[in-house]
Chains A and B, each alone.
Chain A
């Protein structure tokens, strides 16, 4: 799901460097979820919908909105690095607030901390049931937009001239991708870089059309996570290395490599 969202974000922002993690969505969602952990976790059973994915969604949407506004206000739409920088700033802010909230509620620190790093072992089928509706809605919407994501690649003007409603597509895709990201983050924690490694790997293997990238990202993302989970479980047996650590370990160098090649082609 993270990979799928990552691919979609890259499409609508026409920027190969964005992923849910870097845009601040994940951090925003994390903040939203943390607030629920600290304030509301006890009373959640009385809610009809579990507030965790919901608040994560609101947090994530807020974060991507701020990132986008800040990023475009200073850099114009064409600048790749300003958007990433804005995402970093939003992430830092959200993380800072999260830390502050946690400090005030030391009783849940352990719980939240292990959640932040991301783990699959403590995920249960109950969690799957919890996020499934969000994931299905989000994936369906993104799947339906994959042809339009191809059109977005020629730029706003030409896409409009081709009869596409550029702004509507962008808003719908961002909301859908954020919904998916937030739901997943709410359950499995912040697993970084999956959203950027996987779509690019798919691109290298299968070409650049979003028709192919969107479905393959979903599949490869899932496979990648399972594979990344293996060292996570083996390295420190019997305790578990959080999967977020593993993916970040692989993802950070990959990201730098990508940044380098992108500058090289300019």
Chain B
């Protein structure tokens, strides 16, 4: 299992600081969930780990700086599922998932039997075998999401980054996708960092939440520690009640100011 350390990481687009001074350590096998309003810097943080955004400070994987790595080596360590992945409509699911094997194939090489067997194995584990020769353009939203996750799993990287993995899915598929990630995490000992908008789901699946606001890390801790009515009101500007269920689940329920009826 692999740890991920951030020390004073900053991301800047032009003159705008998207993320400032972010310091945190994600323990091996931990699921950290980044929350915060739009523009808080969640995506920027994930993109800096994936090597898509230039960053200041240092990001370390198991103690060694990530910036020293070649893009291939980095891709062997970090798999990234973007918020809105590009799925070439006419590519088959199997062709798409094998792209995740790129970090292990030399520049001019081609896939070995080993690569294809990993792909077929991943497709099987994610219940996608029936779709493997279907064009991804013909799949439903939930199936597409599973194909994208399959590609990331085929990458066999110990760190999995998910940017809003469930935003396009209905409630059932949201749960399915997150259960899948959690199951894969247990089986492979993955370290997961995700950005999520649904606070209840974020608290339900992750080990730890980290709230970002305008590029700064505000607070981090368990769902019960972070998801508090005052905190949500201050940083999201939302009127919401926080309900603690008997099983420890923290539920965030929005309400309308005039009709709270308490």
A residues sitting closer than 8 Å to B (CB atoms) are 144-145, 147-148, 150-151, 153-155, 157-158, 160-165, 203, 207-209, 211
Contact = CB atoms under 8 A, between A and B. Distances in A.
Contacts of B71: 160, 163-165
B108 A144 contact: yes
A209 B92 CA distance: 9
Contact of B102 (A145, A155, A164, A203): A164
Given A163-B74, A208-B90, A157 B100 contact: no
Given A144-B108, A161-B80, A163-B72, A151 B99 contact: yes
A250 B135 CA distance: 29
Of B47, B91, B105, chain A has the most CB atoms within 10 Å of the CB of B91
B51 interface: yes
A203 B135 CA distance: 13
Contacts, number: 71
25 contacts: A145-B108, A147-B109, A147-B111, A150-B91, A150-B95, A150-B99, A151-B102, A153-B91, A154-B87, A155-B86, A158-B80, A158-B82, A160-B52, A161-B51, A162-B99, A163-B70, A163-B71, A163-B72, A163-B73, A163-B75, A163-B102, A163-B103, A164-B102, A207-B90, A208-B88
B57 interface: no
B214 interface: no
Contacts of A144: 108
Contacts of A209: 91-92, 95
B99 A154 contact: yes
Contacts of A160: 50-52, 71
A21 B73 CA distance: 39
A15 to B, nearest CB: 12
Nearest to B88: A153
A207 B78 CA distance: 30
Interface of B: 47, 50-52, 70-76, 78-80, 82, 85-88, 90-92, 95-96, 99-100, 102-103, 105, 107-111, 135, 155
Contacts of A161: 50-52, 75, 78-80, 82
A163 B74 CA distance: 7
Contacts of A150: 91, 95, 99
Contacts of B85: 154, 158
Contacts of B95: 150, 208-209
B122 to A, nearest CB: 15
Given A150-B99, A209-B95, A162 B155 contact: yes
A151 B108 CA distance: 13
B86 A158 contact: yes
Contacts of A208: 88, 90-91, 95, 135
A145 B102 CA distance: 12
A163 B88 contact: no
Contacts of B99: 150-151, 154, 162
Of A153, A161, A203, chain B has the most CB atoms within 10 Å of the CB of A161
B105 A147 contact: yes
Q: Give the 7 A-B residue pairs with the shortest CB-CB distance, closest first.
A: A163-B75, A208-B90, A163-B72, A155-B86, A163-B103, A161-B80, A153-B88
B102 A162 contact: yes
Contact of B100 (A148, A162, A207): A162
A145 B106 CA distance: 11
Contacts of B72: 163
A145 B90 CA distance: 20
Nearest to A212: B95
Contacts of A163: 70-76, 102-103
Contacts of B82: 157-158, 161
Contacts of A147: 105, 109-111
